[in-house]
Structure 1
Amino acid sequence: MKVYLIAGELSGDRLGAALMEGLKTLYEGDIEFRGVGGPLMADEGLNSQFPMNELSVMGIAEVLPKYFHLKRRIRECADAVLGWQPDAMITIDSPDFCLRVARLVREASDIRTVHYVAPSVWAWRPKRAAKMAKHIDQVLALLPFEPPYMEAEGMRCDFVGHPVVNEPLADVADVDAFLASLNGAAEDPVVLVLPGSRRSEVTRLLPVFIDVMERLNQERPDLRFVLPVAGPVADLVREMINDMASPPVLIDPSGLSSQEALMRKRAGFQAADIALAASGTVSLELAAAGTPMVIAYDVSWLSRQIFKRMLKIDTVTLVNLVSETRVVPEFIAENCQPEAITKGVLKLLQAPQEQAEALELTMKRLGRGDQDPGLRAARAVLDGLSTSKST
Structure 2
Amino acid sequence: MKPLKVAIFAGEVSGDHLAGALMAAMNRARGIRWRGVGGDTMLGEGLAPVFAMEAIEVNGFDAIVKRLPHLLARIREAADAVIADPPDVLVIVDAPEFTHRVARRVRRALPHLPIVDFVSPTVWAWRPGRARAMRAYVDLVLALFPFEPAVHAKLGGPACVYVGHPLFEAMQRPAPPSGEALLVLPGSRRGEIERLMPVFGQAAAAAAGEREIQVLAVPHRRAQIEALAADWPVAPRIVSGPNAKAETFGAARAALAASGTVTLELAAARVPMVVAYRLDGIGRLIKALHPVLPIVKAPSMVLTNIVIGRNEIPAFLDDEGTPEALAAALRPLLADEAARMAQQATFDAFHGAMAVDGSPGENAARAILDFLAARSG
Q: TM-score, normalised by structure 2?
A: 0.79
* 1:305-355 CA distance string (max 9 Å, x none): 336321234312111111122111112234344443333333432333321
Q: CA deviation at 1:42?
A: 5.9
- Where do 5+ consecutive residues of structure 1 fail to align? 58-62, 177-186, 253-260
The corresponding residue for 1:320 is 305
The corresponding residue for 1:356 is 344
Counterpart-to-counterpart distance in 2, 1:334 and 1:94 = 31
Counterpart-to-counterpart distance in 1, 2:46 and 2:258 = 30
* 1:242-265 CA distance string (max 9 Å, x none): 35342432222xxxxxxxx2x552
Q: Contact conserved, 1:8 with 1:52, CA < 8 A, in 2?
A: no
Q: Which structure has the larger Rg over C-alpha atoms?
A: 2
Q: Contact conserved, 1:292 with 1:353, CA < 8 A, in 2?
A: no
Give the secondary structure class of the aligned counterpart of 1:106.
helix
Comparing 212-221 and 113-122, the one that deviates more:
212-221
Residue 340, structure 1, aligned to residue 331, structure 2:
no
Equivalence map 1:1-391=2 (5 Å): 1-8=5-12, 10=14, 12-26=15-29, 28-32=30-34, 34-37=36-39, 41=42, 44=45, 49-51=52-54, 54-55=57-58, 57=60, 63=61, 66-69=64-67, 72-84=70-82, 85=85, 86-110=87-111, 111-151=113-153, 153=156, 155-167=158-170, 189-197=180-188, 201-217=189-205, 219-230=207-218, 234-242=219-227, 244-245=229-230, 246-252=235-241, 261=242, 263-306=243-286, 308=290, 309-350=294-335, 351-368=339-356, 370-388=357-375, 390=376
Counterpart-to-counterpart distance in 2, 1:287 and 1:88 = 35
Q: CA deviation at 1:128?
A: 0.9
* 1:93-146 CA distance string (max 9 Å, x none): 333443233223323334432212223333332211111111112101122232
Counterpart-to-counterpart distance in 1, 2:207 and 2:259 = 25
Cα 1:194–1:95 shift into 2, 3 Å: farther
Cα 1:298–1:266 shift into 2, 3 Å: same
Cα 1:332–1:352 shift into 2, 3 Å: same
Q: Contact conserved, 2:204 with 2:213, CA < 8 A, in 1?
A: no
Comparing 216-225 and 372-381, the one that deviates more:
216-225
Counterpart-to-counterpart distance in 2, 1:383 and 1:314 = 33
Counterpart-to-counterpart distance in 1, 2:117 and 2:240 = 32
Q: CA deviation at 1:270?
A: 3.0
Give the secondary structure class of the aligned counterpart of 2:53.
coil
Counterpart-to-counterpart distance in 2, 1:164 and 1:66 = 28
* 1:221-273 CA distance string (max 9 Å, x none): 5333334444xxx3333234235342432222xxxxxxxx2x55234323322
Cα 1:244–1:45 shift into 2, 3 Å: farther
Counterpart-to-counterpart distance in 2, 1:336 and 1:89 = 44
Q: CA deviation at 1:359?
A: 1.1
Give the secondary structure class of the aligned counterpart of 1:273.
strand
Counterpart-to-counterpart distance in 2, 1:171 and 1:321 = 21
Counterpart-to-counterpart distance in 2, 1:42 and 1:331 = 42
Q: Contact conserved, 2:272 with 2:343, CA < 8 A, in 1?
A: yes
Counterpart-to-counterpart distance in 2, 1:379 and 1:348 = 41
State how many pairs are aligned.
Answer: 353
Cα 1:165–1:31 shift into 2, 3 Å: farther
RMSD: 3.3
Q: Contact conserved, 2:116 with 2:141, CA < 8 A, in 1?
A: yes
Counterpart-to-counterpart distance in 2, 1:142 and 1:5 = 18
Cα 1:214–1:336 shift into 2, 3 Å: closer
- Where do 5+ consecutive residues of structure 2 fail to align? none
Give the secondary structure class of the aligned counterpart of 2:227.
coil
Give the secondary structure class of the aligned counterpart of 2:122.
coil
Give the secondary structure class of the aligned counterpart of 1:66.
helix
Counterpart-to-counterpart distance in 2, 1:137 and 1:212 = 44
Counterpart-to-counterpart distance in 1, 2:196 and 2:100 = 33
